[in-house]
Amino acid sequence: MIHDLTRAERLRYQRKQDAAYEAGDAAVSNLKAALALAGLVLPSLSNDGPVGCRGLVRLGGCSTELANRLAEVIAAGARALRDQQR
């Protein structure tokens, strides 16, 4: 049996979808800013929209050079965090 959503349920779902979309936008902005600090740009970085009330970020494709540089920056940051915790 298929359950039709009530108006209230549809509104709650829409609010969750809107919040997920906004969370995706915020995550994209945060990641772009962090990448910019490292002098990196992911050209296809974008908000992929909400799916099942969860925000998704599309990282997109990049060159192997950029992927390797990104790996170096992430590893350096992870090492710095680890060293701070000691």
As a whole number of angstroms, the distance between CA 57 and CA 49 comes to 7
- Confidence check: pLDDT of 27 > 80: yes
Confidence of residue 1 (pLDDT cuts 50, 70, 90): low
3-class SS letters over the chain? CCCCCCHHHHHHHHHHHHHHHHHHHHHHHHHHHHHHHCCCCCCCCEEEEEECCEEEEECCCCCHHHHHHHHHHHHHHHHHHHHHHC
pLDDT for residue 60: 87
- Percent of the chain scored above 70 by pLDDT? 99
Q: What is the pLDDT of residues 29-53, one digit of tens each?
A: 999 999 999 999 999 999 999 988 8
